[in-house]
Amino acid sequence: MRRSTDRILVSHAGTLPRPPEIAELIRQGPAGAAELTRVLPGAVKEIVRKQVEAGVDIVNDGEIPKRGTFSSYIQERMQGIEPRTFAAGEGPPPRDVNGRDRRDFPGFFAAGLGGFGAARGVFGGASATRPEAGERTLQFCTGPLKYIGRQGVETDIANLKAAVEGVDVEPWLPAITPGTVEHWLWNEHYRSDEEFLYAIADVMHEEYRAITDAGLVLQLDDPDLPDGWQMYPDLSIDEYRKYAQLRVEALNYGLRDIPTDRTRFHTCWGSSHGPHKNDIPLRHIVDVILQVKAECISIEASNARHGHDWTVWQDVRFPDGKSLMPGVVGHSSDLIEDPELVAERLVRYAQLVGRENVIAGTDCGLGQRVGHPEIVWAKLAASAEGAGIASKQLWS
């Protein structure tokens, strides 16, 4: 895995703007599958070109081949799952990643504000109405889990490797963690949470291994490690730490024989647009996060709720051999960060953990979170420009 040996490198956390024609073919499902297979290689090559043009050093495929949510991703990659659709008020209690905030701001959520779409003005954005307010489709584990995603991940690998051929960048692909899978999968088969999590880890190990065996960097997406705190609003800090610890242990089991130096871990506080007043403070779980067997830790760090989290590293010793990829541009606003602000953030982190241990990142994937593709690319360009300014200060 590349390190910032003579300048601050630039990467990002995930999604990038999906071309409209790709989005339409995905929407068509089986009817668009053949054409999607034909055009995807060119689309991935173009998304890599745009990243390079913006100044990104460590690139992905923008997640443009992925079909929507984590829930649909799970269904495509695992066997032993049954989708069920429930009318309003039916089915199991909702798992609400805004659970604690909803108690404090019921009017905000009742008005349909916030959500997981693009950032908007006061009365815009995706609906954040309560999950049980309308019809919903949930995924249930009804039998032994088995990995069925080999063809999908091999296609993703082949397209990305072809797109970066001859380009001086490092490629990476994401996969989700057992804890994030569990968030969106109701267990009706395994006897305990622990057995369920370790079964998921066994399944996901195949995807992790496929990515690293292909020579790509593996990013482990785990937004749900911190946001489970909101999902289970009656847990105490100590109870939640035990909850998080089990999920990290299951992840590390899934990472057995996966090279640590080919692995990075991304976490955030769910990335929904909303108050985030009740996000669990980083200081309460940072030691658990650092147990993940990954060389690089990517973490939300630039927005109004988590911009102060750099102070945690004043008191927590950063482990030898790891690197830190703090978000220096974010998804929570369409405002484009000033490169001088980006540089200020990077220098601050470098002074705490070492300049060689810092990579410029984003709070979360930008592609589905900001208002327009132009803003996404401008944010990445600002990150790269800011990294250049910081590098001059740190290596002068």
pLDDT, residue 117, reads 59
Residues in CB range of 52: below 8 A, 6 or more apart:
59, 167, 169
Task: Report the alpha-carbon distance of residue 287 to residue 294 in Å, rounded.
Answer: 14
**pLDDT confidence of residue 116:** 67
Whole-model pTM: value is 0.94
**Dist CA 367 CA 22 (whole Å):** 14
Q: What is the three-class DSSP state of 343?
A: helix
Q: What is the pLDDT of residue 90?
A: 93
Q: Which of 94, 207, 202, 78 is nearest to 143 (CA)?
A: 78
Task: Tell me what pLDDT residue 371 has.
Answer: 86
pLDDT of the residue at 13: 97
How far is it, in rounded angstroms, from Cα 358 to Cα 361?
A: 9
- All domains in the chain, ordered by first residue: 9-77+143-394 (3.20.20.210)
pLDDT of residue 83: 93
User: Taking the chain (396 residues) in consecutive chunks of 10 residues, what is each chunk's mean pLDDT?
Assistant: 98 96 94 96 98 99 85 87 93 92 94 70 37 77 97 97 99 97 96 98 98 99 94 97 98 98 97 93 98 99 96 98 98 96 99 99 92 96 99 97
Residue type, 131: P
As a whole number of angstroms, the distance between CA 146 and CA 134 comes to 31
Residue pair 9/3 in contact by the 8 Å Cβ criterion: yes
Fill in the amino acid letter for 360: A
Cα(327)–Cα(345) distance, integer angstroms: 9
Residue 118: what pLDDT? Answer: 59
Determine the Cα–Cα distance for residues 147 and 244; give it in Å rounded to an integer. Answer: 24
